[in-house]
Structure formats: structure tokens, C-alpha cells
Amino acid sequence: MIVNNMVDYPQNPLDTAFAALADQTRRSILSQLLVQDMTVKQVADTYEMSLAAISKHLQVLTRAGLVRQTKQGREKICQLEPNALRAASLWMESFGFFPADYLDGVEEELDALGVSQESE
């Protein structure tokens, strides 16, 4: 089989999510966005890397459906997509690593933080 690396082949959403989560910086960004929505510049200011590098990390997270970016004036606001990890969590739960009461705790934390769960 010949694979052209320049072609964007469709991927399984779980594969895309786990690939995005494989990087420590991206996991850290998700943790920050769990606490509050941030502009791209605010995210970049917390790391010792260029704005372009952070933008690339955010693009990976956005393509994976883990983050939503909305334009507000001249800035992009980054928001965590709380339900994006649900499929991954359910898959991991099937192995017994993440019991339902743990996921309930995460959901309660999201509710306490005022994170909308509109996609249910």
C-alpha cells in the first residue's frame, strides 16, 4: 500500500483524540482551558515557545474536536469542548480504568466551573 503523507486521510475520531493527547503541551493547554476560556495569546503567554508553535498545537486540538476557537474581534477565543473526550473515556472505561463514578466526578467539576454541556 502506498501512502502519500501530503494527503489528509480521514481518521477515526478516537485516533485523532489520542494523537492530540499524546503531547504534554497539548494536555497542559486542555487543563488550562478546563479552568477558563483563553485567547490564543493568553495561552501562548504561559509557555516559552512562539505564538506560531502554540497556534499549531491549538490547530491539532481543534481538528481533534477537543477545542473550539471562535473569532471575537481581532482575537480567537479558545474553549474546551467538554464532551469531546466522552468517546475516549467510554472506550477506556471498557477496560475498567475509568469507572463511571470517576466520569461523574469530572462532569460535576465541569458543572461547578460553569462549562456548558450542550452537545449531549
Angle at Cα 107 formed by Cα 80 and Cα 45, nearest 5°? 30
pLDDT one-digit tens code per residue, 75-85: 999 999 978 88
pLDDT one-digit tens code per residue, 54-111: 999 999 999 999 999 999 999 999 999 978 888 888 887 777 655 566 666 667 777 7
Judge: domain 13-112, CATH 1.10.10.10: yes
Closest CA to 47 of 57, 36, 60, 61: 57
- How far apart (Å, rounded) are the C-alpha atoms in residues 4 and 75? 35
Read off the pTM: 0.70
pLDDT one-digit tens code per residue, 9-62: 557 888 888 899 999 999 999 999 999 999 999 999 999 999 999 999 999 999
